[in-house]
Amino acid sequence: MPATVILGAQWGDEGKGKLVDRLAEQATWVARFQGGNNAGHTVVLGEQVLKFHLLPSGITRKECHLILGDGMVVDPWVLDTELKGWLESSGEDPKGDRLFISERAHIILPYHRFMDSLDKKIGTTGRGIGPTYADKINRVGLRFGDVAEVLGDDAWTTATVARMNASLEAAGAKDRITHENLAGNIQWIHDTYHHCIANTGLMLDNALKLGEHVILEGAQGCLLDIDQGTFPFVTSSVTSRGNATHGAGIHPGHVEEVIGITKAYITRVGHGAMPTELNDEVGEHMGTVGHEFGTTTGRPRRCGWFDAVVMRHAQRINGFTGLALTKLDVLGGLEELKICVAYELDGKEITELPSTASAIARCKPIYITMPGFPSLSLPEWLAMAASANKSGKGISMLPLAAQQYIAKLETLVGVPCTSVGVGPDRDATIDCV
């Protein structure tokens, strides 16, 4: 089977974890290909809420092998905490059995967290992601495959400590790195992970050649892409389709299906303009009903109406074959629904996303208005989803106004919906037919 790519189509937090968990039932591999523990993927299994930052969402499917891919930056201490939590809840330690870390993935060290904590402009998670990618680009980073090579190398440790402390001093940080601590960290990383560090690109390539199904799980979203996002208020990696295979260590010909995840409205965490942002009772409704708090940081998410300009940009960059619409239920109970179809920028109407942050900040949304649909309880949404999927009637089971809203989004973005989420639970998803 070919590979399936799952990508965020907005500013992240769209519900990728839930979809990956659901699709992983039919997969044998789930691989993360970029980012680090600045991601937050939530999976809800009845009363159990699982939150992952590094572990691929397919971990809930015991038959799935899990990959932390070439393009990732991995905090080994955060990963250890997640693995201990998983061991406690499931009784399983997957390291070296079904969880493997790419030898090419870069390591987040305490130095990187110290540097990231100085950010006051972008609104990063402070987890060391950007500084680790900066070291990667500067060709001074440490990869998991290099750990055994530098273990016990006093010259490397001395030079690395000197470089790190010079950077910390120049940046105005109070923290410093010691030779003893860095050497101890390298030893601990080797002792903890040496048995699960592997050529994961080769593993995925062989699996695909054998006809196995691979899911490539993205983190963040298209509008946070370092190249194609709302720079400089972006993440430090390429979040889009072009990096899915590259960051996993396989060629793009393996991919046949690319699913873009989008909420029925839009959210954003951190700094940067968001043209459809609502600072009123509707925005409060979305945030409250949708439980809009960041999985990684706990920060409240900014909420706004669906933005078709943003989504057309995401579609051009990624070439989605289908859209997975999430959190439709959150819009229930609103009398009318608005969709941004264009912007007014300096007195002119535009239909494409500007490239500069200052221009985006000056954009005023141009809306169309559609009728709302009733609010339902979670049990009612779950029952509707179960009935829709069992009968094969799909979204025709939804209220008419909800069907019309979905149809309009499909038309505006130019991509069909493959599924519609109507609640946080794994089973609160209606397959489109």
pLDDT in tens, the chain (433 residues): 689 999 999 998 898 888 888 888 899 999 999 999 987 777 776 667 778 899 998 898 989 999 999 999 999 999 999 999 999 989 999 999 999 999 999 999 999 999 998 877 766 778 999 999 999 999 999 999 999 999 999 999 999 999 999 999 999 999 999 999 999 999 999 999 999 999 999 999 999 999 999 999 999 999 999 999 999 999 999 999 999 999 999 999 999 999 999 999 999 988 899 999 999 999 999 999 999 986 666 778 999 999 999 999 999 999 999 999 999 999 999 999 999 999 999 999 999 999 999 999 999 999 999 999 999 999 999 999 999 999 999 999 999 999 999 999 999 999 999 999 999 888 899 998 6
Q: Which of these three, 185, 202, 232, is where a domain ends?
A: 185
HSE of 162, CA atoms in CB hemisphere, 13 A: 6
| 150 and 265 part of one domain | no
Element (H, E) at 202: helix 200-209
Place of tokens 């030893």: 187
pLDDT tens string 262-311: 999 999 988 899 999 999 999 999 999 999 986 666 778 999 999 999 99
Element (H, E) at 17: helix 16-23
From residue 95, alpha-carbon distances to 80, 132, 206 in Å are 10, 23, 20
| 307 and 418 part of one domain | yes
CATH number at residue 313: 3.90.170.10
φ and ψ at residue 3, rounded to 5 degrees: -85, 150
Kindly state whether residue 273 falls inside one of the protein's structural domains: yes
Residue of 21, 41, 106, 425 marked active site:
41
From residue 127, alpha-carbon distances to 118, 291, 302 in Å are 11, 23, 21
| 278 and 392 part of one domain | yes
Burial class (CB in 10 A: 0-12, 13-18, 19+), 49: exposed
How many distinct structural domains can be found in the chain?
A: 2
Place of tokens 């141009």: 366
**Rounded CA separation 139/132 (Å):** 10
Predicted confidence at residue 257, as pLDDT, reads 96
Residue of 13, 116, 135, 425 marked active site:
13
From residue 13, alpha-carbon distances to 2, 27, 45, 122, 204 in Å are 26, 23, 18, 17, 26
Per DSSP, what are the bridge partners of residue 52?
41
| 181 and 266 part of one domain | no
- Coil, helix or strand at residue 352: coil
Predicted confidence at residue 299, as pLDDT, reads 77
Kindly state whether residue 414 falls inside one of the protein's structural domains: yes
| 268 and 409 part of one domain | yes
Domain interval for residue 349: 261-431
The tokens of 118 are what? 């100085």
Kindly state whether residue 399 falls inside one of the protein's structural domains: yes
From residue 382, alpha-carbon distances to 263, 395, 424, 425 in Å are 18, 13, 10, 8
First-last CA distance in the chain = 22
Q: Which of these three, 166, 185, 204, is where a domain ends?
A: 185
* 99-102: strand order across its sheet: 197-198, 99-102, 65-68, 29-32, 214-217, 3-8, 255-263, 322-326, 417-421, 429-431
**Rg of the chain over all Cα atoms, to the nearest angstrom:** 22
Cβ 46 vs Cβ 74: under 8 Å: no
13 is catalytic: yes
CATH number at residue 178: 1.10.300.10
Side chain identity, residue 211: G
CA proximity to 242, closest of 393, 56, 34: 34
In the predicted model, what is the mean pLDDT of the chain?
A: 94
Kindly state whether residue 76 falls inside one of the protein's structural domains: no
Q: Is the dihedral of CA 151, 84, 62, 35 positive or negative?
A: negative
pLDDT tens string 116-162: 988 777 667 789 999 999 999 999 999 999 999 999 999 999 999 99
Kindly state whether residue 420 falls inside one of the protein's structural domains: yes
Kindly state whether residue 345 falls inside one of the protein's structural domains: yes
DSSP assignment string, 410-421: HHHHT--EEEEE
Cβ 406 vs Cβ 251: under 8 Å: no
Q: Which of these three, 131, 156, 185, is where a domain ends?
A: 185
425 is catalytic: no
Per DSSP, what are the bridge partners of residue 421?
429
- Coil, helix or strand at residue 33: coil
Element (H, E) at 409: helix 400-413
